[in-house]
Amino acid sequence: MKRILILSLLLAAVAITGCKKNQINGGLDGQDLVNELFTAGLVWNTQTTQSLKGTWTEHRDLENMVYGPEGGYIHVIGGWDYQINYDDQTGYIYGGFMQFNLTETINDYAFKSNDHLFTMNGAPYISYVGNFTIAPGGASFGTASSIDIGGAVRLTGPNGFDQTINILISIIINSSGSGGHVSGYVGDEQLDYYF
């Protein structure tokens, strides 16, 4: 179960970081910004999960602090729910679903991009919503699997750089669990590609 969730988040990370490097005015690399935000979203599940027992249903509240490489932090809070149905004699997974909601509150999170120091704060926050259908067999996703990321951040940096960047990204994951479609915006940069 944990492998499926981590796989889905890694797919999203690949999709987001697959963007070509584009600089936002002031020397900030848009990919560096998204990498910092998404990395915090990937480390929220540091607990191990229990073994399956027929029908496995669970809700877990999540909270984690991710400290910036140059100071500040991102506070990740949220929860996830899932239900998996399987044959307790054979272990075959008949299917199921997972949903998660995460909010990143960003406070003076400092990082370097193109050798310049930038400080990021939430404007007011970034949110992640994931919905996954687990296909029979448990090794791939059903057709209704996606991650949506939205919100805004305010960045300050060298030479008076002060910009609020809106983020709206939708990731549709292929039912094979490999690849998908990314669309949306990071600031003025439009995203629309397959991975």
Task: Give the C-alpha distances (Å, rounded to integers) separating 96 from 54, 57, 62, 134, 159.
Answer: 12, 10, 21, 5, 51
Q: How far apart are the first and last CA of the chain?
A: 23
User: Is the pTM above the cut of 0.85?
Assistant: no
SS in 3 state form for 60-109? EEEEEEEECCCCCEEEEEEEEEEEEEECCCCCCEEEEEEEEEEEEEEECE
- Bridge partner residues of 85 (DSSP): 55, 95
Measured distance CA(154)–CA(179) in Å, rounded:
31
The DSSP call for residue 188 is T
What the block records as the tokens of 104 is: 């990143």
- Print pLDDT tens along the chain (195 aa): 444 444 344 444 444 444 444 555 566 766 676 667 656 655 555 454 444 457 888 899 999 999 999 999 999 999 999 898 888 788 888 888 989 999 999 999 999 999 999 999 999 999 999 998 888 887 777 777 899 999 999 999 999 999 999 999 999 988 776 788 999 999 999 989 888
The DSSP call for residue 141 is B
